[in-house]
Amino acid sequence: MSLVSKFEILWARLEFNVRLAHARIKKGTVRFKITDLTGFYQQMHRADIPYVVLRWADDVPMTAEQELTNKHDIDHLIADHQIRTALEFASVRPGRSKCDFYSASGQSGTTYNGMPYYMPVHAHRILSRRVKDPRGFFRPSPEDEFFAFAFHLCYHKGHRCGIATGVDVSHEISPQRDYLAGLRAMAKTAGIAVSPDITLLQLHGLLAEHGWSMSNDLMLRWPDQHPFIKALIDLEEQAAGEYIEAAQRLTVFILRDDCDSVELQQSALDMIAERFTILEEISLDTETKNRIMSQTRGGNWIEKYRPEPVQPIMAIICRQAVEAGPLPIAMSAAKLAKRYPHLDNTDVLIKRVIRDHSNKIAPLEHDRVAIHATDNALETVETMRAILGDQMKTFIETRCN
């Protein structure tokens, strides 16, 4: 290898590390302008890297001539365990095509404003059901491509996508692209019925119907609080209004499948019972697990140490004490408010003690998360709806009064 070639490789690696560090600091994703996408995707295939081009696949520039005229970004979703390798491949082929890379669980430097680009359960589904485009790269299945695009329009773009919102928020008249036409084309390919004049509110309803909507607890934490997402949050609160009062003193704990022994589960129940009255313990069937993972944030249900989702296994519905006990963890009031801005009852932080105890008595190479909990009444209603479905109203009327 010549001295010049060695220098170029070293320089590319240095630039790669600097750009990745910058993306981490900015809580965004790294972008590379690259060339020869045909060669890039072939390299990805040889390395067996699970990825997809998320949308506008027909516009991906696969020749030098197409690169010269392409003005649009190319967004990629990549499996966590291969994200760094994919970025290294991109970093050493400088060119004109602007490519963004998002990891399935939102690893630092590959996020949307510090958050996973999609709810990780959805990202895992997209990658596991991907299909190969005739031009040589992978894209989502037609159904997943439609719902992923609809998710993007509703929650990432909002009113800026140029589609009427259906609420008291004006939409942009001249968006960068014809997003509605793109949505209709994807719907037709996927065989999904979409009204010609569909609104974002109706699209949100369609996403919810198919388990693809953004959960309310994630909307509250979403870094881009644009007017449409704020309107959705208000509507969700209004829809939950009849249950909010009853849920004011309720908390739901969820045990995950990394709380994987009778001893760990019983220990968690015992510590919960020290601060809460347990109303119901519910072992979760497959259908309910899937509802919970798609309808609640739950710490994202993905961990970096394993490629498949970490599933919920048990729900514990509890009544809070009249007054919260001593703070379960050592944390200043300022740090507590910053770390848990939506928390209504500090007794919920017993989950932190349960995690520490679980990792102490049954240590692994990685830390168990073991348990999640709802932070407030609205999250409790949303989680109970995912657990109980149509039985939620009956449960609240018979067990919570």
pTM for the full predicted model:
0.83
On whether both 195 and 60 belong to a single domain, the answer is yes
Q: 106 lies in a domain?
A: yes
On whether both 316 and 218 belong to a single domain, the answer is no
pLDDT of residue 262: 93
Share of the chain above pLDDT 90, in %: 52
Residue owning tokens 């998360």: 369
Residue owning tokens 């996408």: 37
Among the candidates 185, 201, 236, a domain finishes at 236
pLDDT of residue 294: 82
Q: 72 lies in a domain?
A: yes
Q: 140 lies in a domain?
A: yes
On whether both 330 and 373 belong to a single domain, the answer is yes
Contacts of 77 (CB under 8 A, 6+ apart): 51, 52, 54, 102, 103, 104, 117, 118, 123, 126, 127
Among the candidates 214, 236, 258, a domain finishes at 236
pLDDT of residue 277: 95
For 192-248, the pLDDT digits (tens) are 999 989 999 999 999 999 989 998 888 888 889 999 999 999 998 888 777 888 888
Which one-letter DSSP state was computed for residue 156? I
For 78-133, the pLDDT digits (tens) are 998 888 899 989 988 888 899 999 998 888 788 888 888 898 888 989 999 999 99
For residue 389, pLDDT beyond 70: yes
Among the candidates 236, 271, 291, a domain finishes at 236
Q: 241 lies in a domain?
A: no
Q: 261 lies in a domain?
A: yes
On whether both 230 and 302 belong to a single domain, the answer is no
On whether both 36 and 144 belong to a single domain, the answer is yes
On whether both 217 and 83 belong to a single domain, the answer is yes
CATH number at residue 287: 3.30.70
Cα-to-chain-centroid distance, residue 91: 26
For residue 4, pLDDT beyond 50: no
- For the chain, the maximum distance between any two Cα atoms, rounded to a whole number of angstroms, is 78
Of 287, 285, 289, 308, the residue nearest 298 (C-alpha): 289
Average pLDDT over residues 359-364: 91
**Do 183 and 199 form a contact (C-beta atoms < 8 A)?**
no
pLDDT of residue 367: 87
For 165, the domain range is 3-236
On whether both 309 and 356 belong to a single domain, the answer is yes
Total domain count for the chain?
2
On whether both 112 and 192 belong to a single domain, the answer is yes
Q: CA triplet 160, 161, 163: central angle to 5 degrees?
A: 110
For 346-355, the pLDDT digits (tens) are 999 999 999 9
On whether both 14 and 39 belong to a single domain, the answer is yes
Torsion-angle region of 114 (φ positive above 0: left; ψ -120 to 50: alpha; else: beta): left
- Which tokens belong to 264? 């760990």
pLDDT of residue 8: 58
For residue 5, pLDDT beyond 70: no
